[in-house]
Structure 1
């Protein structure tokens, strides 16, 4: 009877320990996944949000610089001839820089809205490039006044539209960045929960060990008395 009871208790404790071991392993796997998610969130924040936001800023700077170059040439003293060769070289350098940054931006992780906005930006930048070429052509073949009129009617609007598209893309970086922060905070809270569960399981294991030792002493005591008799 005592032997059967002892076996039953041992089996119960063994099953409980096995369940605790399984839970510990599962918690460890979940904790590792949580840490990986946190790491991915931070990496994505840097590679897919911070760097692209900086690149968008530099694209904006190049767009503003191109507009300044054209305005300086078109609205300068009429008696001063425009150095079209120099102007074309400067505009080409800015356009090459813009194309390079846009191509780099395309390689990052883009959400659906971001992809749509980027396609619209690329189309707008192409339009701006075409208009600035026409402005240069008109001011070179006809007169500075002809180039100025084209810039007033189309150029300013196109440059403004390009900047607006860049602003919209920059705003998306902020929104998606906030979502990444929320995901990271959720992963941190999950990691804290898993740590608390591990502590709880360690306490349960300690209680079981104490219970096993206590039960062993209780069983041993009557046996010793029986031997003395």
Structure 2
């Protein structure tokens, strides 16, 4: 019975040690996952929000430039500016295609994807109307000119909506990063607290044990 009691007394610190180690390992895994999520959020904030937002501003500027070129061309009834206008529009169209492809490669939320599809449809229609007007320099039907302006307004509205979505999702990612960082800090503090508690409990168990690990004969041993 004395042996069983001794084993029981020595098993309690060991059991506590195992519980604390499991808790520390679990919190370490959670902390690692949180830090990975934080890294993904920061990366997404830059790659999928900040960079595309810059592209939206560039797209908007290019569309305004294209609009001004077409207005200047349509105001020139003689069509003298046609060759230069076509060359400039072709260059701007290539830039637009590159920006659209870059934006399409990023991650989009559901409503962002829908607006982006609308934008691409309006852009295709705008480019088709633009090409038709350039193909008939002698006569520019008023209906086509109005349709071009209407399509430009739709494109401008789409870009504005995409920019608002970018701002909203960016704020959500930023808030999520702050929460994740706070949770990771809490887990780190919890691990430190568990280690301190474990150390104190083990120390208490060793000091108050009726069957100390060091025999009394060894405790009274004097090197002199």
Instruction: Note the C-alpha offset of 1:210.
Output: 1.6
In the alignment, what sits opposite 1:102?
100
For residue 109 of structure 1, give the secondary structure of its aligned residue in structure 2: coil
Q: Which moved more, 1:184-193 or 1:149-158?
A: 149-158
1:45/1:177 contact within 8 Å kept: yes
1:135/1:150 contact within 8 Å kept: no
For residue 80 of structure 2, give the secondary structure of its aligned residue in structure 1: coil
1:38/1:187 contact within 8 Å kept: yes
Q: Which moved more, 1:174-183 or 1:116-125?
A: 174-183
2:16/2:198 contact within 8 Å kept: no
Q: Which moved more, 1:126-135 or 1:19-28?
A: 126-135
In the alignment, what sits opposite 2:150?
157
Instruction: Note the C-alpha offset of 1:213.
Output: 3.4
Does structure 1 residue 205 correspond to structure 2 residue 198? yes
The equivalent position to 1:192 in structure 2, one of 185, 194, 205, is: 185
Instruction: Note the C-alpha offset of 1:219.
Output: 4.6
Does structure 1 residue 116 correspond to structure 2 residue 92? no
Higher relative contact order structure (alpha carbons within 8 Å, sequence separation ≥ 6): 2
Q: How many residues matched? A: 218
Extract unaligned runs of 5+ from structure 2. none
Does structure 1 residue 72 correspond to structure 2 residue 72? yes
Instruction: Note the C-alpha offset of 1:131.
Output: 1.3
Please, what is the CA RMSD of the aligned residues? 2.3
For residue 107 of structure 2, give the secondary structure of its aligned residue in structure 1: coil
* Cα distance in 1 between the residues matched to 2:66 and 2:99: 16
For residue 30 of structure 1, give the secondary structure of its aligned residue in structure 2: helix
What's the CA shift string for 1:50-98, capped at 9, x where partnerless?
A: 111111111111100000111122235x5x6532111111111111111
For residue 110 of structure 1, give the secondary structure of its aligned residue in structure 2: coil
Pairing of 1:1-229 with structure 2 (within 5 A): 1-75=1-75, 81-138=79-136, 140=137, 142-143=138-139, 146=140, 149-150=142-143, 152-215=145-208, 219=212, 223=216
* Cα distance in 1 between the residues matched to 2:89 and 2:215: 99
* Cα distance in 1 between the residues matched to 2:79 and 2:35: 64
Query: TM-score, normalized by length of structure 1?
Result: 0.86
| Structure number with higher helix proportion | 1
Query: TM-score, normalized by length of structure 2?
Result: 0.88
* Cα distance in 2 between the residues matched to 1:220 and 1:13: 12
Q: Which moved more, 1:215-224 or 1:86-95?
A: 215-224
C-alpha change, 1:61 and 1:101, in structure 2 (3 Å) is same
